[in-house]
Amino acid sequence: MQISKREITKHRNSYIAIVSADIITDEVALAVAFEEKDEVKRLGASWNPDPSGKGGHWSMKADRLDRNCTIKCDIMGDGWAGTILDYLNNHKMIYKQTGNIRSDLTKVLKDADSCHWLELIPDMHGLGGHRVQFETFNLRMGNAGDPEVTTVVKFIDPEVGAESWMLPEDAKIIWENLVAGGYNHTTTQPTESV
């Protein structure tokens, strides 16, 4: 992922501050201009080069966001606590949530019924491999009377016993790469052999 100077400006013009309770992933992508990179680096952000070799983006692990900010910053409205999250909000730097869904939230979802189920198998014409599965879940957070619903995806690789929880846009990339590599969509319901 690359975030251009133009995208940063556009993002900051429509920025909505995020609160810790709304963060469902293990990291956030940051909209950081070149001249701001040293500040976010001091706060613990890491650089993620784009696979194309051109540019990249900064990100911050979500577990750092509630730590005290070590950089002096003007107070931004009510609720300012002097955290790294406050600093990033004050400078309109949180671009989007990224990475895996937080493990404390996936524990709640493990016992829930999925909303949608998809399976891919490799093309049997010379391609090795095994079945993989995608399940979607609705994660409800916030006010019990009017919760905000976010769709999350569980990617399952039963042969190696692995599962990853992610946002739909990240699951879509995995799906597209598997299909491009020869996998085919086979069913929307689980099979007995999986």
Decide if pLDDT at 125 tops 50. no
Sheet holding 183-187, edge to edge: 46-49, 56-61, 25-30, 94-101, 162-166, 148-157, 132-141, 116-122, 183-187
Same domain, 36 and 84: yes
pTM: 0.69
Quote the domain boundaries for residue 149: 103-187
In a domain, 192, yes or no: no
In a domain, 193, yes or no: no
More confidently predicted of 114 and 49: 49
Model confidence pLDDT, tens digit, residues 74-113: 665 555 678 899 999 989 999 998 888 887 777 766 656 5
Phi, psi angle pair for 166, to nearest 5°: -155, 175
In a domain, 194, yes or no: no
- Number of domains within the chain: 2
